[in-house]
Amino acid sequence: MDDKLYEAALKAYHNAYTPYSKFNVGTALLLADGKIVSGSNIENASYGLSNCAERSALFAAYSQGYRKQDIKRMLVIGSTDRPISPCGACRQVMNELIDPEVEVVLTNLHGDKKIMKVREFLPYVFSDGDLDGRV
Ligand code: THU
Protein backbone atom coordinates (compact mmCIF):
# COMPACT_ATOMS: atom_id res chain seq x y z
CA MET A 1 0.00 0.00 0.00
CA ASP A 2 2.90 2.36 0.63
CA ASP A 3 3.80 1.94 -3.05
CA LYS A 4 0.44 3.40 -4.07
CA LEU A 5 0.74 6.18 -1.53
CA TYR A 6 4.28 6.93 -2.71
CA GLU A 7 3.09 7.12 -6.31
CA ALA A 8 0.20 9.48 -5.42
CA ALA A 9 2.45 11.68 -3.26
CA LEU A 10 5.07 11.81 -6.02
CA LYS A 11 2.42 12.95 -8.49
CA ALA A 12 1.36 15.68 -6.05
CA TYR A 13 5.07 16.54 -5.61
CA HIS A 14 5.27 17.19 -9.34
CA ASN A 15 2.06 19.24 -9.23
CA ALA A 16 3.37 21.59 -6.52
CA TYR A 17 3.23 25.31 -7.31
CA THR A 18 6.58 26.60 -6.06
CA PRO A 19 7.79 29.55 -8.15
CA TYR A 20 9.51 31.10 -5.11
CA SER A 21 11.18 28.29 -3.17
CA LYS A 22 11.37 25.77 -6.04
CA PHE A 23 11.09 23.23 -3.22
CA ASN A 24 8.34 20.74 -4.01
CA VAL A 25 6.53 18.58 -1.48
CA GLY A 26 3.77 16.02 -2.01
CA THR A 27 1.51 14.27 0.47
CA ALA A 28 -0.89 11.35 0.14
CA LEU A 29 -3.48 10.15 2.64
CA LEU A 30 -4.90 6.63 2.70
CA LEU A 31 -8.57 6.64 3.70
CA ALA A 32 -10.68 3.92 5.29
CA ASP A 33 -12.66 3.38 2.07
CA GLY A 34 -9.43 2.72 0.17
CA LYS A 35 -9.35 6.09 -1.56
CA ILE A 36 -6.21 8.19 -1.65
CA VAL A 37 -6.34 11.97 -1.33
CA SER A 38 -3.22 13.96 -2.12
CA GLY A 39 -1.95 17.51 -1.75
CA SER A 40 0.91 19.72 -2.92
CA ASN A 41 2.53 22.83 -1.53
CA ILE A 42 1.05 25.91 -3.15
CA GLU A 43 2.96 29.16 -2.80
CA ASN A 44 1.99 32.81 -3.17
CA ALA A 45 3.81 36.07 -3.98
CA SER A 46 2.74 37.07 -0.48
CA TYR A 47 4.99 34.31 0.88
CA GLY A 48 3.23 33.80 4.19
CA LEU A 49 0.06 32.72 2.41
CA SER A 50 1.75 29.64 1.00
CA ASN A 51 0.29 26.29 2.03
CA CYS A 52 2.29 23.17 2.73
CA ALA A 53 1.56 19.84 1.04
CA GLU A 54 0.54 18.19 4.32
CA ARG A 55 -2.14 20.77 5.02
CA SER A 56 -3.29 20.83 1.38
CA ALA A 57 -3.93 17.08 1.56
CA LEU A 58 -5.64 17.19 4.95
CA PHE A 59 -7.85 20.13 3.99
CA ALA A 60 -8.76 18.39 0.71
CA ALA A 61 -9.77 15.21 2.59
CA TYR A 62 -11.85 17.12 5.13
CA SER A 63 -13.41 19.16 2.29
CA GLN A 64 -14.58 15.88 0.78
CA GLY A 65 -16.25 14.95 4.07
CA TYR A 66 -13.58 12.66 5.55
CA ARG A 67 -12.78 13.01 9.22
CA LYS A 68 -10.14 11.94 11.74
CA GLN A 69 -11.30 8.31 11.96
CA ASP A 70 -11.13 7.94 8.15
CA ILE A 71 -7.43 8.72 7.81
CA LYS A 72 -5.39 5.50 8.08
CA ARG A 73 -1.93 6.47 6.84
CA MET A 74 -0.05 9.49 5.51
CA LEU A 75 3.02 9.70 3.30
CA VAL A 76 5.05 12.85 2.66
CA ILE A 77 7.79 13.23 0.05
CA GLY A 78 10.28 16.02 -0.55
CA SER A 79 13.62 16.39 -2.32
CA THR A 80 15.50 16.38 0.96
CA ASP A 81 18.66 14.34 1.73
CA ARG A 82 16.98 12.79 4.75
CA PRO A 83 13.27 11.85 4.81
CA ILE A 84 11.29 15.12 4.81
CA SER A 85 10.43 16.74 8.14
CA PRO A 86 6.99 18.38 8.36
CA CYS A 87 7.03 22.00 9.57
CA GLY A 88 5.67 23.04 12.96
CA ALA A 89 2.44 24.46 11.56
CA CYS A 90 1.67 21.18 9.80
CA ARG A 91 2.47 19.20 12.96
CA GLN A 92 -0.11 21.26 14.84
CA VAL A 93 -2.73 20.66 12.14
CA MET A 94 -1.87 16.95 11.88
CA ASN A 95 -2.35 16.66 15.64
CA GLU A 96 -5.91 17.94 15.37
CA LEU A 97 -7.03 16.26 12.15
CA ILE A 98 -5.45 12.77 12.37
CA ASP A 99 -5.71 10.10 15.07
CA PRO A 100 -2.57 10.16 17.29
CA GLU A 101 -1.79 6.46 16.59
CA VAL A 102 -1.74 6.83 12.79
CA GLU A 103 1.64 6.27 11.16
CA VAL A 104 3.16 8.90 8.90
CA VAL A 105 5.74 7.78 6.35
CA LEU A 106 8.33 10.48 5.74
CA THR A 107 10.36 9.90 2.61
CA ASN A 108 12.40 11.50 -0.17
CA LEU A 109 13.22 11.00 -3.83
CA HIS A 110 15.82 8.35 -2.94
CA GLY A 111 13.15 6.31 -1.13
CA ASP A 112 14.72 6.77 2.33
CA LYS A 113 12.03 6.29 4.95
CA LYS A 114 11.27 7.33 8.49
CA ILE A 115 7.98 6.29 10.09
CA MET A 116 6.53 8.26 12.99
CA LYS A 117 3.18 8.25 14.75
CA VAL A 118 1.19 11.49 14.74
CA ARG A 119 1.49 11.73 18.52
CA GLU A 120 5.31 11.79 18.29
CA PHE A 121 5.51 14.97 16.23
CA LEU A 122 4.70 17.58 18.83
CA PRO A 123 5.29 17.02 22.54
CA TYR A 124 3.11 18.93 25.02
CA VAL A 125 0.96 20.05 22.08
CA PHE A 126 -1.79 22.65 22.53
CA SER A 127 -5.04 21.04 21.44
CA ASP A 128 -8.82 21.32 21.49
CA GLY A 129 -8.75 19.65 24.91
CA ASP A 130 -7.02 22.74 26.31
CA LEU A 131 -9.94 24.91 25.26
CA ASP A 132 -12.40 23.18 27.54
CA GLY A 133 -10.21 21.71 30.26
CA ARG A 134 -10.14 18.09 29.00
CA VAL A 135 -6.34 17.94 29.22
N1 THU B 1 6.90 22.68 2.77
C2 THU B 1 5.91 21.73 2.72
O3 THU B 1 5.00 21.80 1.89
N4 THU B 1 5.98 20.71 3.61
C5 THU B 1 7.04 20.47 4.44
O6 THU B 1 7.05 19.46 5.12
C7 THU B 1 8.15 21.43 4.51
C8 THU B 1 7.97 22.68 3.74
C9 THU B 1 6.87 23.74 1.75
C10 THU B 1 6.55 25.13 2.20
C11 THU B 1 7.19 25.94 1.07
O12 THU B 1 6.29 25.98 -0.03
C13 THU B 1 8.39 25.13 0.66
O14 THU B 1 8.15 23.81 1.14
C15 THU B 1 9.71 25.63 1.23
O16 THU B 1 9.64 25.80 2.60
Domain boundaries, the chain: 2-133
Q: Best of 50, 76, 85, 94 to mutate for ligand 1, by most ligand atoms within 8 A of CB?
A: 50
Position 55 pLDDT exceeds 90: yes
pLDDT of residue 17: 99
Q: Is 44 near ligand 1, meaning CB less than 6 Å away?
A: no
Position 71 pLDDT exceeds 90: yes
Q: Assign domain 2-133 to a CATH class.
A: alpha beta
Position 87 pLDDT exceeds 90: yes
Position 24 pLDDT exceeds 90: yes
Position 1 pLDDT exceeds 90: no
Element (H, E) at 104: strand 103-108
| Ligand 1 centroid distance, CA of 45 (Å) | 15
Q: Among residues 54, 101, 103, 120, which one is catalytic? A: 54
| Ligand 1 centroid distance, CA of 133 (Å) | 33
